[in-house]
Structure 1
Amino acid sequence: MKAIVLAAGYATRLYPLTLDQPKHLLQVGGRPILERLLGQLATIESLERVYIITNAKFAGRFREFAESWAGPPEVVVVDDGTTSEADKLGAIGDLALVIRRAALDDDLLVAAGDSVFSEGRLDEFVRFGLDRDAPVIAASELGDLEAIKSYSAIATDSGGRIVAFEEKPAEPKRAPGRVDVRADAFLRLAGAGALVRHRLARDARASRPRVVTELTQPRAPAGPRFESVLDLLLPQRCVVCGLGGPQLCAACLARLPRIEPPLCGRCGTPTAWPVRRCRECAGRRLAFASARAAVYYDDAVRAVVAAWKERALRRLAAAAVSVVIEALEPPRADVVTFVPPDPDRGLTRGHHPPRQLAEALARHWQLPLAAPLRRRAAKRQRGLSRAERRRNVAGVFDAKGTLPSSVVLVDDVFTSGATANAAASALRKAGARRVEVVTFARVVR
């Protein structure tokens, strides 16, 4: 058996204590939290090695700790290469990284690096899971109905299977099989190494893929209750401020900087007064009739887009859709489409934010969705000048079939307009007479 300790967070809520020190190495009662956890893991007779997955910022600190750790168990530090909240892989992404690098093929014990469990209980917990030959979750019972309001509650059937979950119940009730959860949950993926590796490799950047739901409750359909259980196992945080809760909290959502008039009538750039064409688009041959974006691409929006695209936090799509609907007037169009992904990056990510945005907007605007565009591989646009961007995407799009007269083209971010213009040009060649570009965010220089 191997253990993976998740310690790749940045603990921004504990600043300044964690500016240059991971919270897992902060001392509690004269000992680092991680030292206490490793001491408890050492009681598991079948445990051979512990992998600590962390980030590039704190990897050196953890290696110093590992060198001083006398063991058992053996400790191996894995650096996931990330440097900030904006590019971190998430819990499941880090699990996938360790499993792939270490070629793990046996039972796994997964714990948060800042967890401390009851003394002498982890070995008993592992034996329980091995006897059941099933994934198991450890929880603690409070016995105080009032205290439960600050935590959460789960209910189990006669066989111990989780059948319900309630977060911070307003009126908690004692019921048969009810367990009051107060500590970080502890997950064991038992006897399913191959399945875990396969699914994690496919969803490497997802923070909460379906694999955990399926392993926790293999015979029941995944639903809101079990998504809440997963939130307990793999707590969600706002990608902007880092506070626990939704992936984008209400306060940060409200503070995303909306783009408001006056604007350029053609490319949508904010201007001092309304103009038909601005310095951004004057003298350029644009294939689209207009371009509109909902928010400025500032640091907060950059964090949202990075988490949505690179970490596959798909709940952020709903937030982006709500902002676009609030900020932009419904277009007068016949069909909605989207900028397709680069073939290689589309396979790597496993999802495509512009398509998610287009699908939701099409439903809201009650317009059909089409996917006529095809994209050939090209060099990444990041880091290129405006002229280089235009040359890089020239001719990379083709549109299949015949399109109606008016089309809405959806993308996530409008940077220089080169990609949108190249895609709009392909749509025009396929019969569209008017193309309106709609994006969640826009870079304004």
Structure 2
Amino acid sequence: MQAIVPAAGRGSRLRPATDDHPKALVEVAGRPLLSYVFDSLAPCASEYVVVVGYLGDRIHERFGSVYEGTPITYVEQPSREGLADAVGRTEPIVEDDFLQLNGDNVLRGNVVEVIETHSERNADATLLVERVSRERARRGGVLSIEDGTLAGIVEKPDDPPTRLSTTGCFAFSPRIFGAIEAIEPSERGEYDLPDAIGYLLDHGGRIETVRLDGWRVNVNTETDIARAERRLSGESTNG
């Protein structure tokens, strides 16, 4: 299965480290952030499709065309127009259902289960989700539940409807591309992936969720890097 990795961001909250290289190459425990994303996807990926933007040539120079035997294809996102726009730019080379993991995640969890659930239930979108604090729920995509059923995803809500948050890991059918084309940009001028998933939901798409069994750190700040390194260090100690 092809695996899409959006990695076009600059990572302004990690400056000055990102003044001369992209966020995806920021080091965590001595390794580029993007290498952890590849490792998480490795059991499932037939090809990595990396969406690059800010200093994307540095990513190409660092990883080349193959990572540990799996080919890498690069797709350009010239301007920051949101995560849905990044995913949409891969449509010409995506062949079928695909896996996605955002390029700023250090994740240890049940990625394979996401694919299995997606396939078994013939879903259009399968979301790996986790229960988070209300503070963290305000900083990402949060599930809205009505009568025990997924009603949508709310992006960065002031008053989160639940504490179930997306993790940046998804499986999609090609129907997601039509949904991306159908949505309008947000007030920030960006095309938000939760809006595209919501469009699928509103137009008869089958949406499934899988609870995270493991851990993940979304790396946006130096504090996040330290937190990821502590988790990784704990793995080494336990191993």
TM range (shorter): 0.5 to 0.7
Counterparts in 2 of 1:376-387, with a 5 A limit?
none
- Determine which structure has more spread, i.e. the larger CA radius of gyration: 1
**1:54 Cα shift?**
0.8
1:115 partner letter = N
Aligned: 1:151 with 2:137: yes
The secondary structure found in structure 1 opposite 2:38 is helix
Residues 156-180 of structure 1, C-alpha deviations (whole Å, 9 max, x = no match):
467753467593648x9xxxxx653
Residue 197 of structure 2 is matched in structure 1 by 212
Per-residue CA shift, 1:157-206, capped at 9, x if unaligned? Answer: 67753467593648x9xxxxx6533x63423223xx1x334454576986
CA contact (8 A) 1:149 1:168 kept: no
Q: What is the match of residue 260 of structure 1?
A: none
- Residues 3 and 99 of structure 2 are in contact (CA less than 8 Å); yes or no, is this contact kept in structure 1? yes
The corresponding residue for 1:196 is 176
Question: Contact conserved, 1:93 with 1:203, CA < 8 A, in 2?
Answer: no
**Selected match of 2:84 from 80, 92, 95:** 92
Give structure 1 stretches of 5+ with no counterpart: 173-177, 221-445
Alignment of 1:14 with 2:11, yes or no, is: no
Does the CA-based 8 Å contact 2:4-2:49 persist in structure 1? yes
| 1:68 Cα offset (Å) | 7.9
CA distance in 2, matches of 1:131, 1:94: 27
Describe the SS at the equivalent of 1:167: coil
Aligned with 1:9: secondary structure? coil
User: Hey, which of these two has a bigger chunk of strand by percent?
Assistant: 2
Q: Give the Å deviation of 1:107.
A: 0.5
Which structure is higher in RCO with an 8 Å CA cutoff and minimum separation 6? 2
Pairing 1:3-152 to 2, within 5 Å after superposition: 3-44=3-44, 47-55=45-53, 57-67=54-64, 70-80=67-77, 82=78, 87-100=79-92, 102=93, 104-119=94-109, 121-134=110-123, 135-142=125-132, 147-152=133-138
Q: Do structure 1's residue 186 and structure 2's residue 169 form an aligned pair? A: yes
Query: Separation in 2 of the partners of 1:66 and 1:42?
Result: 15
Cα distance, 1:159–1:75 mapped onto 2, change above 3 Å: farther
Please list the CA deviations of residues 283-334 of structure 1 after superposition, one character each: whole Å capped at 9, or x if unmatched: xxxxxxxxxxxxxxxxxxxxxxxxxxxxxxxxxxxxxxxxxxxxxxxxxxxx
- Matched to 1:40, the amino acid is S
Answer yes or no: is the 8 Å Cα contact 1:161–1:217 preserved in 2.
no
CA distance in 2, matches of 1:62, 1:107: 25
CA distance 1:214–1:124, shift in 2 (3 Å): same
Give TM-score scaled by structure 1 length: 0.38
C-alpha change, 1:41 and 1:160, in structure 2 (3 Å) is farther
2: distance between equivalents of 1:200 and 1:60? 26
Contact 2:152/2:201 (8 A) holds in 1: no
Deviation digits for residues 15-59 of structure 1, max 9, x if unmatched? Answer: 211011111111112222110110010122xx311111111x412
Question: What is the CA-CA distance between 1:66 and the residue it aligns to?
Answer: 2.1
2:89 is paired with a residue of what secondary structure?
helix
Deviation of 1:219 after TM superposition, in Å, equals 4.7
- Contact 1:42–1:72, Cα closer than 8 Å, also in 2: no
* TM, length-normalised to structure 2: 0.67
Q: Distance in 1 between matches of 2:25 and 2:151?
A: 33
> Structure 1: which amino acid aligns with 2:199?
E
User: CA shift at 1:95, angstroms?
Assistant: 2.2
Deviation of the 1:125 alpha carbon: 1.5
Task: Flag the 1:98–1:179 CA change in 2: closer, same or farther, 3 A.
Answer: same
Aligned CA distance change for structure 1 residues 10 and 42 (closer, same or farther; 3 Å): same
Deviation, 1:154, is: 3.4
How big is each residue's C-alpha offset from its partner over 1:375-432, in whole Å with a ceiling of 9 and x where there is no partner?
xxxxxxxxxxxxxxxxxxxxxxxxxxxxxxxxxxxxxxxxxxxxxxxxxxxxxxxxxx
